[in-house]
Structure 1
């Protein structure tokens, strides 16, 4: 006999399930001071299975005009962009702490 459990998202378009996945993630955005007291904006709390971190990091870096990286499931953007990054993530449907 087959598995009788149903996918709760069965029949819902993929773009809407992606929105649901994003809204269920609670992210934190903070500023860290690194070498020579340079600020780095760190975004944590992603579900790595539900979010393409490299693509999102690219979009955020492009939007604020800065460099950055993905490291240990977190996105790091060079500079103090806490407010702007928070707005961009909220616009994309993420919840922020």
Structure 2
């Protein structure tokens, strides 16, 4: 009885459907904001990730590719060069995340 069950065990759905990952993303509330960096350059910050359920490096690579910009993962958040608040929020919503701000 003390076993940990994931949603696939409870729902009776096969693991290949990836329902655990989708539900994990839907429960996370991310914030997208900009900061001004050196020489007045804008930096878009995406934070609020649950590190255990998201591969931040992979997601950052996807965002950088889709936005045609540079960036990095630092302290559990994604930093993108430039002001990409609206487009990044749309892309994250398309990936199943709840986005605020």
Alignment TM-score, normalising by the size of structure 2:
0.88
Structure 2: runs of 5 or more not aligned: none
Query: Are the aligned partners of 2:6 and 2:20 in contact in 1 as well (CA < 8 Å)?
Result: no
Task: State the Cα distance separating 1:8 from its structure 2 match.
Answer: 4.4
What is the alpha-carbon root mean square deviation over aligned residues?
Answer: 1.3
Alignment-derived partner of residue 81 in structure 2: 78
Residue from 13, 36, 39 that aligns with 2:39:
36
Paired residue secondary structure (1:20): helix
Alignment TM-score, normalising by the size of structure 1:
0.92
Alignment-derived partner of residue 46 in structure 1: 49
Q: Distance in 1 between matches of 2:6 and 2:78?
A: 30
Alignment-derived partner of residue 64 in structure 1: 67
Task: State the Cα distance separating 1:6 from its structure 2 match.
Answer: 5.0
Task: State the Cα distance separating 1:4 from its structure 2 match.
Answer: 3.4
Paired residue secondary structure (1:83): helix
Alignment coverage as a number of residue pairs: 95
Q: Distance in 2 between matches of 1:8 and 1:78?
A: 37
Q: Deviations over 1:58-96 (max 9, x none)?
A: 000000000000000000000000000000000000001
